[in-house]
Structure 1
Amino acid sequence: MTTHEPLTAEELAAIEERAEVATPGPWFIRLLDDEDAMNLVAISTVPDTGHGERWPDFDHHEIVAATLIQQPRYVDVADARWDENAQFIANARQDIPRLITEIKRLRQLLAEKGRQDLEA
């Protein structure tokens, strides 16, 4: 959705609720490997070890999402931005709550400024 309309309080609350019910963070990028996934780029609840673990040497319960699974081509975006997409997804877990807090803070400042202007 691309819009230039201001974010409503209801929309902000819905975004906040989605963030609150998602798997707790922080999230990390994991570079895994096996004969099926081939260079699996995943978003995980645990940091990457740097060893490119192969199945079953990693716990699938730690994987939140994947941006590349090559064999067979289950997850492989056409623009080949799987690393960039993984970075975006992993960081969204802490970025979204932080942005929500900042929006609320700025709205509060604007409301206080508006009250001061009315009182002046």
Structure 2
Amino acid sequence: MTTTDTPTTALDLDAIRLLANRATGGPWTLIERQDTDRRILVVVAEGHGYEHDDALVAEVPMEAGDDINDWRNDAEFIAGARTLVPALCAEVDRLRAELAEIADAVAPTVTIKPPAAAVRFLHQLYTSWVKTAHERLTQIDKLTTENEQLRAALAAEQTRTSRLEDALAATEQQAASMRIALDRADAEAEGR
């Protein structure tokens, strides 16, 4: 039977070590034995005789017709657990220590804010941005209104200037006509 389930909580290595330390000393080995009516795979602690009860770790009985390889896999796993479990605990300790060193090395250079603090920071940043944007839009509206007023005043001044230029041209034309009339009148008066 195979499973891919992984634990969702941290391993309690102290509890695992306690279980391993209370188990019969190892390494454990696998022995195949034939009983009168069935074959048995036996896991025993090395250095202990098979006949002693304290040396027997596990029996994996097989019925007639069972595939020995299926049962052998289970028995080999049980036998290997005696040395593999302590080795795995040591490896987890090593990796945790390495991770702690990396975290200590990185910690002074990286500050990770908790989610609530990050949300507050982003909210403050957004609020500040909205306030600044509102102020800028208000300034733009005010300047746009002033610009429109100045354009209207400029257009009015251009119209007034055009009228004054027309009036000045008309006045200059009248002045020229009056000079001509005065010059004729002077010429007539002299000619008499």
Q: TM-score, normalised by structure 2?
A: 0.46
Deviation per CA, 1:50-82: give whole Å up to 9, x if none.
xxxxxxx941433210111549xxxx8x9x721
Measured in 2, the distance between the counterparts of 1:117 and 1:19 equals 35
Q: TM-score, normalised by structure 1?
A: 0.71
- The structure with the greater share of residues assigned to strand is 1
Give the equivalent residue in structure 2 for 1:59. 51
Residue 41 (structure 2) pairs with residue 41 (structure 1): yes
Indicate how the Cα distance of structure 1 residues 23 and 116 shifts in structure 2: closer, same or farther if over 3 A, else same: same
Q: Secondary structure at the match of 1:81?
A: helix
Give the equivalent residue in structure 2 for 1:32. 33
Give unmatched runs, 5+ long, in structure 1. 48-56
- The structure with the greater share of residues assigned to helix is 2
Deviation per CA, 1:69-97: give whole Å up to 9, x if none.
549xxxx8x9x721000000000110010
Count of aligned pairs? 103
What is the percent sequence identity of the aligned residues?
Answer: 31
- 1:93-104 to 2 correspondences below 5 Å: 93-104=82-93
Between structure 1 and structure 2, the one with the greater Rg is: 2
Q: CA RMSD in A?
A: 2.8
Larger RCO: 1 or 2 (CA < 8 Å, sep 6+): 1
- The answer to whether the 8 Å contact 2:26/2:83 transfers is yes
Give, in angstroms, the shift of residue 4 of structure 1: 4.3
